[in-house]
Amino acid sequence: MDTSTTLEMMQKLKLDGMTSSYQAICDLPADKQPDTHQCLATLIDAEVQSRATKRTNMLSRLSKLRYKASLHDIKYDSKRNLTKQQMAKLTDCAYLSRGENIIITGATGCGKSYLACALGHQACLYGHRTLYFNMNRFCEQIAIARVDGTLIKWMNRIKKAKLLILDDFGLQQMSHDVKLTILQILEDRYKEASTIMTSQLPLSKWHAYLNEPTVADAILDRLTAKYSKIELKGKSLRKSA
């Protein structure tokens, strides 16, 4: 079997990583090409890396993250109340396997959404299904799903996500139905998956914002049973950009 036939068969089998790696090996001078065992190892590694990259790209695309953010681009500063040591506990995504939630609070423009998206991107890199919603859109989606009868199906989709990001919590009043739906979502995810929520409101004011003591107790109980809290400080980063 000649080189061109081998490459063609690899392409038909959709072995993209192997195809590009094998082509690169074939382009080397004969005395520079690896032996059989090394060549096989190189091809397999290239295919593994290629599939991992494809999965990450797919997960990132489906997550619909608001920002293309990375933890490497985060500005760590004690004045922001954000340190590398603090984030080191989250970079390996072990909190996802423990079903721990993260609450990020701070003034408008301080980088809450960007940080949440960076954590979402990190989760995708580790192969975890992630979903991002702005709270206004999230509430609209709940209302639409209730009307067209797809609420259960939609909630089951959310349940399958290892990480759910709810951005800008507390900017608008929520209906009783929306609160109950959020409660059910948090119940479905309790100890099984993680939720990141960002808000301009400090956590101490969430109970009053929800304005229904029984529902508020239930939501906060599930959200804060196992969680990390990040309170960003400082001026708006948009003004300094």
Examine the pLDDT at 240 and tell me if it is beyond 80.
no
Question: How does pLDDT run across 11-23, given as a tens digit for each residue?
Answer: 888 888 888 988 8
Among candidate residues 205, 204, 98, 185, the one with its CA nearest the CA of residue 133: 185
Mean pLDDT computed over 41-45? 89
- Rounded Cα distance, 101 and 40, in Å: 42
Placement of tokens 């301009």 in the chain: 200
Mean pLDDT, all residues of the chain? 91
Q: What is the pLDDT of residue 5?
A: 87
Strands of the sheet with 163-169, listed across from one edge: 130-134, 163-169, 194-199, 101-105, 227-231
Question: How does pLDDT run across 94-141, given as a tens digit for each residue?
Answer: 999 999 999 999 999 899 999 999 999 999 999 999 999 999 999 999
Domains and CATH numbers, the chain: 3-57 (no CATH), 64-240 (3.40.50.300)
Contact 209, 105 (CB under 8 A): no
CB atoms within 10 A of CB 168: 21
